[in-house]
Amino acid sequence: MGQRDAIRHYIREHFDEALQKGFLKVYYQPVIRTLTGKICGVEALSRWESPTHGRLSPADFIPVLEETHLIHKLDAYVIDRVCHHLRQRIDDGRPSLPVSLNLSRLDFTLANPRHSWTPASLRIPPTKDVNVTSSTATSQPPATTATPHS
C-alpha cells in the first residue's frame, strides 16, 4: 500500500476517533477588508492533528470524507465548535466577528442543515445573513457565511 493510500485508509478508519478525542481542531483565519486593511470577519477552518501522522492536510481528509459520505459529521462538528466559541464570547461580554463556514454540498442531502441547525440548537442568536456562494448542483462544495448578531 502506497503512502497516499495508507493516509486515505487511516482517515477512513480513524475519523470517528478523531472527532471523539478532539484531534480535529477549528482554527480561525482573519478576513481582511482590502479598503481599510481591518479585520471584518474570520473563516472557520478544520485541521486534523493526528497523534501518529501529525497534521493531516484538508486536501487529504476532506475528499475522503466526501467520498465516504462522512463530511456532514465534520461540518456539524465545526458548526458546533464555532457556536460554542461564539456563545463563550457573548456570555463573557466580548465582541464577536462574522464567521464564514465552508459546507459541503453533501450536507444538503445527507443532513439538511436548514432543519438540523436551529438557533436553539446552535446556542447563538439567530443569524441575519446566510450566503451560499456556489451552486449545490456543481461538483464544488458551497461556501456558506453566517453572521451572528448579539
Spans of all domains in the chain: 3-148
Which of the four pLDDT bands, split at 50, 70 and 90, describes residue 114?
Answer: low
Q: What pLDDT shows up at residue 15?
A: 97
More confident residue, 110 or 116: 110
| 1 Cβ contact list (under 8 Å, min separation 6) | 9
pLDDT at 82 over 70: yes
CATH fold of the domain at 3-148? TIM Barrel (3.20.20)
Ramachandran area for residue 55 (φ above 0: left; ψ -120 to 50: alpha; else beta): beta
Kindly report the average pLDDT of the chain as a whole number.
82
pLDDT at 145 over 60: no
Q: What pLDDT shows up at residue 103?
A: 84
Which of the four pLDDT bands, split at 50, 70 and 90, describes residue 123?
Answer: low
Residue 148 CB-half CA count within 13 A: 23
Which of the four pLDDT bands, split at 50, 70 and 90, describes residue 83?
Answer: confident
Which of the four pLDDT bands, split at 50, 70 and 90, describes residue 126?
Answer: low
CA distance 21 to 39: 32
CA distance 56 to 53: 7
